[in-house]
Amino acid sequence: MTATTIKDIAKLARVSHTTVSRALNDSPLINRETKHRIREIADRLNYSPNLSAKSLVLDRSYNIGLFFSTLTSGTSSTFFFETVRGAHRAIPPDYNLVIKGIDDYPDFGKITNKSFDGIILMSQSADDQRFIDAVTTKHIPLVLLNRSVDDGMLLNILADDEQGAYSAAQYLARLGHRKIAIIEGRPGFQSAARRKNGFAKAMQEHEIPLNPDFCVAGNYDVQSGYDAMRRLLGLAERPTAVFCSNDDMAFGAMKACMEAGLKVPEHISLVGFDDNHFSAYLTPALTTVRRPIELISSEGASRLIQAIGRKETIAETILLGAELVIRQSAAAPYKSVDIMEEAHE
Amino acid sequence: MTATTIKDIAKLARVSHTTVSRALNDSPLINRETKHRIREIADRLNYSPNLSAKSLVLDRSYNIGLFFSTLTSGTSSTFFFETVRGAHRAIPPDYNLVIKGIDDYPDFGKITNKSFDGIILMSQSADDQRFIDAVTTKHIPLVLLNRSVDDGMLLNILADDEQGAYSAAQYLARLGHRKIAIIEGRPGFQSAARRKNGFAKAMQEHEIPLNPDFCVAGNYDVQSGYDAMRRLLGLAERPTAVFCSNDDMAFGAMKACMEAGLKVPEHISLVGFDDNHFSAYLTPALTTVRRPIELISSEGASRLIQAIGRKETIAETILLGAELVIRQSAAAPYKSVDIMEEAHE
DNA sequence: CTGTTAGCGCCTTCAG
DNA sequence: CTGAAGGCGCTAACAG
């Protein structure tokens, strides 16, 4: 009933347990035949090494931690799924992909280089800094996804949010819109700031002043997009186009438009950010910016694995392109008289 | 630079490492004062136990495996997210929640009671049976989510798919529909079969014959819902209502309706299954069946933890209710003449 | 090529 | 209440 160990195999093979260990680890020191014989016995006994013992002596846990700022809120399901899948794909099967929220820990004492061989942090905001510090001072290999931090010697991988938002806003401007609003991302999230920057930059280049009424708060979830759009629609002078800082909020925004009897894109243009699984299936299909989340995650994971193997730290910031995907939710503006007329019946 | 161990603490406290071990584990054998003194030293040194060593001697890995049939396809993001979040919530922070796909493993030799203290299986189809057998023969505590298997002594937790689908179909029938179609779930998935059963039962009770043309294949993803609906719309005699076996497919189906110029629910009624995050934000808001995925998962996880603690197996099947959520995508049917007229211009 | 010995960090008898 | 000794399963010198 107790699991078979190398000693059991050693007895049957009439060799020492050391020889068994070496044979099973394919050491060149061992005779081909003995090796073969030992392996057959091991197979027959369904031997599988005790990872805890191995970990103890090799000083590796085989755990890769995938940390989110929190798992309880503020993470959208598509984002989460793609992140996990990307990491999972890049990690060798003998590693454990361990999902954690930073807020699981009252303090970071339990996070040691014994408990994680490496850590992937899908970081949202600067609040994660304490965690990053704890991890780096313990010399645990770390990659930072989705956010860049310049001060340190870290590997950062993220989408070019600013460029992506810039393209989206520029697209709206080129379509002829002048009254362009933005529904912003979650306050404090670096991605939110970067997207707003890109948006502002495009406005500036097209000499469109940034109307404070047209910059409304959101927090990346569907409901917040809905609420924000209602605020926008309540304005005396409505925008003719809205850049939503992510697709979830664009969904909510579209809902609000529909409820108000506005047609998208005839009465109002909408663009999103992320290009999640559902965007193409909305009616109208959502024009948005594709963010390669799964790629960011898998790239980060494989670099981490490399870094662990080579025992060296890499400090670099990798910006992955975010491209505009043109679909049906944005078009040239109606004249505003038309809008007011129809919308107010 | 090497981590502090109980021996380091022992030296400073001028006691044996045994005493330190006991003190840190709050053994009643140790004097209050010594205990206190030792703990302070431990704190000061930022001591954190080496889990591998602990695992080795205690014969526990502190790993809880959360297995999906596969991570590469066939799992929707909302489903995945809610599952992980439910399990995460129920698992004590000193455990590792390890995400795995069954198809990560060529064989199950590496899955031992040393590598996982317990396993949660989010099971889709009967193909998982080999995995289940492997796990149970190794006496690793297991809970099976989302699917029931009767032969064994297992803990099964799942939504009442049949009842849920029944309510949805009954609702459509009571609305006055007679031409009701079903877009089926992924072939081979138990949930798909159960939902179809519930649907069929409702049809039978309302004396509506099951038209084979009205039973179209799907595989739970958005695109398959779209494709299926297009097939339905190509029929000489179109259905007036469609039960989609999950929300993702309902999204796709709605898209196909819109493209065909049909209004939902005026021309055609749609209901889904799952009640995912976006359903309420569709236009029209999706009438669907709420499936408590996160609850299933957290319930499973906490039962597993209990079972591990008590070292006993619990065999039980728990069916969690799935309730109809009435929103706007289903209504009483038009007369078919109207539909033909408008749809064909 | 193989065996002996030692030790990873921790917990658990068994003595005192 | 505390300490000494032993061992969990495995790998790594060091000898032969």
Specify the amino acid at residue B182. Answer: I
Q: In terms of domains, do B129 and B73 share one?
A: yes
Which residues from chain B sit within 8 angstroms of residue A6, using beta carbons?
none
Residue A237: give its domain's CATH number: 3.40.50.2300
Lowest-confidence pick of A332-341, B47-56, B268-277: A332-341
Contact partners, residue B161, CB within 8 Å, separation at least 6: B191, B194, B195, B198, B273, B291, B322
Assess whether A18 (CB) lies less than 7 A from strand C.
Answer: yes
pLDDT tens across the length of chain A (345 residues) = 578 899 888 888 888 888 888 988 888 888 888 888 888 888 998 899 999 999 999 999 999 999 999 888 778 889 999 999 999 999 999 999 999 999 999 989 899 989 999 999 999 888 899 999 999 999 899 999 998 887 668 899 999 999 999 999 999 999 999 999 999 999 989 999 999 999 999 999 999 999 999 999 999 999 999 999 999 999 999 999 999 999 999 999 999 999 999 999 999 999 999 999 899 999 999 999 999 999 999 999 999 999 998 767 778 899 999 999 999 999 998 764 444 444 443
Q: In terms of domains, do A193 and A330 share one?
A: yes
Specify whether the CB–CB gap between A101 and A122 falls below 8 A.
no
In residues, how long is chain B?
345
- Residue B15 in domain: yes
Q: In terms of domains, do A167 and A208 share one?
A: yes
Q: Which of residues 28-57 of A touch strand C (CB under 7 A)?
A: 29-32, 34-35, 53, 56-57
Specify whether the CB–CB gap between B186 and B228 falls below 8 A.
no
Helix (H) or strand (E) run with residue B190 in it: helix B190-205
Q: Please tell me the distance in Å from B206's CA to the nearest CA on chain A.
A: 33
Q: Read off the tokens for B12.
A: 């400073």
CA end-to-end distance (rounded Å), chain B? 79
Residue given tokens 């408590």 in the structure block: B292
Residue B337: the pLDDT is 46
Assess whether A315 (CB) lies less than 7 A from strand D.
Answer: no
Q: How far is CA B31 from CA A123, B20, B37, B38, in A?
A: 45, 11, 10, 11
Domain count of chain B? 3
pLDDT at B53 over 90: yes
d(CA B336, CA B238): 9
Residue B208: the pLDDT is 96
Contacts of range B257-261, beta carbons closer than 8 Å, 24 or more positions apart:
B257/B229, B257/B233, B258/A283, B259/A283, B260/B230, B260/B233, B260/B343, B261/B342, B261/B343
The whole-number average pLDDT for the span B104-122 is 92
Q: In terms of domains, do B129 and B151 share one?
A: yes
Q: In terms of domains, do A218 and A285 share one?
A: yes
Pick from A55, A109, A277: CB nearest B52: A55
Q: In terms of domains, do B286 and B190 share one?
A: yes
**Mean pLDDT rounded to a whole number for chain B:** 91
Interface check for B71 against chain A (CB to CB < 8 A): the answer is: yes
- Residue B54 in domain: no
Is B96's CB within 8 Å of A101's CB?
Answer: no
Q: How far is CA A308 from CA A63, A64, A93, in A?
A: 11, 10, 15
d(CA A161, CA A323): 10
Specify whether the CB–CB gap between B243 and B164 falls below 8 A.
no
Residue A20: give its domain's CATH number: 1.10.260.40
Q: What does the DSSP assignment read for A136-169?
A: HHTT--EEEES----SSS-EEEEE-HHHHHHHHH
- Residue A223 in domain: yes
Q: In terms of domains, do B107 and B233 share one?
A: no
Please name the nucleotide lying closest to A28, CA to C1': C1
d(CA A16, CA A23): 11
- Residue A32's domain comprises 6-48
φ, ψ dihedrals at B136, nearest 5°: -70, -40
Q: How far is the CA of A60 from the C1' of C8 (A)?
A: 11
Question: What's CA A205's distance to the chain center, in Å?
Answer: 30
d(CA B322, CA B320): 7
Q: In terms of domains, do B220 and B280 share one?
A: yes
Most confident of A303-312, B24-33, B160-169: B160-169
d(CA A262, CA A229): 12
pLDDT at B339 over 60: no
Which strand C bases fall within 7 angstroms of a protein CB?
1-5, 7-13
Q: How confident is the model at residue B76 (pLDDT cuts 50, 70, 90)?
A: confident
Is B281's CB within 8 Å of A51's CB?
Answer: no
Is A222's CB within 8 Å of B109's CB?
Answer: no
φ, ψ dihedrals at A126, nearest 5°: -65, -10
Interface check for B230 against chain A (CB to CB < 8 A): the answer is: no
Q: In terms of domains, do B155 and B165 share one?
A: no
Specify whether the CB–CB gap between B322 and B156 falls below 8 A.
no
Q: In terms of domains, do B77 and B29 share one?
A: no
Alpha-carbon dihedral of residues A152, A158, A163, A169, nearest 10 degrees?
-120
Q: In terms of domains, do A250 and A188 share one?
A: yes
d(CA A278, CA A257): 18
Based on its alpha-carbon atoms, the radius of gyration of chain A, rounded to whole angstroms, reads 27
d(CA A87, CA A93): 11
Q: How far is CA A236 from CA A213, A264, A340, B272, in A?
A: 10, 19, 10, 38
The whole-number average pLDDT for the span B66-83 is 89
Q: Read off the tokens for A262.
A: 């506005």
Residue B282: the pLDDT is 95
Sign of CA dihedral B303, B304, B310, B316: positive
Residue A324: the pLDDT is 97
- The residue of chain A with its CA nearest to that of B227 is A281
- Residue B169 in domain: yes
**pTM for this structure?**
0.91
Interface check for B307 against chain A (CB to CB < 8 A): the answer is: no
Q: Tally A–B CB contacts below 8 A.
A: 134
d(CA A109, CA A263): 54
Which strand D bases fall within 7 angstroms of a protein CB?
1-5, 7-13
- Residue A57 in domain: no
- Residue A70 in domain: yes
- Residue A55 in domain: no
Q: How confident is the model at residue B152 (pLDDT cuts 50, 70, 90)?
A: low
Based on its alpha-carbon atoms, the radius of gyration of chain B, rounded to whole angstroms, reads 27
Residue A335: the pLDDT is 62
> Where are any strands of DSSP class E within B29-107?
63-68, 96-101
Assess whether B53 (CB) lies less than 7 A from strand C.
Answer: yes
Specify the amino acid at residue B157. Answer: I
Specify the amino acid at residue B126. Answer: A
Q: How far is CA A85 from CA A74, A120, A160, B72, in A?
A: 19, 13, 21, 7
Specify the amino acid at residue A226. Answer: Y
Please tell me what DSSP assigns to residue A220: S
- Residue B91 in domain: yes
d(CA B35, CA B16): 13
d(CA B171, CA B153): 36
Helix (H) or strand (E) run with residue A122 in it: strand A118-122
Please tell me what DSSP assigns to residue A126: G
Of B7, B317, B104, the residue nearest A96 (C-alpha): B104
Of A320, A295, A165, A335, the residue nearest A243 (C-alpha): A165
Q: In terms of domains, do B331 and B202 share one?
A: yes
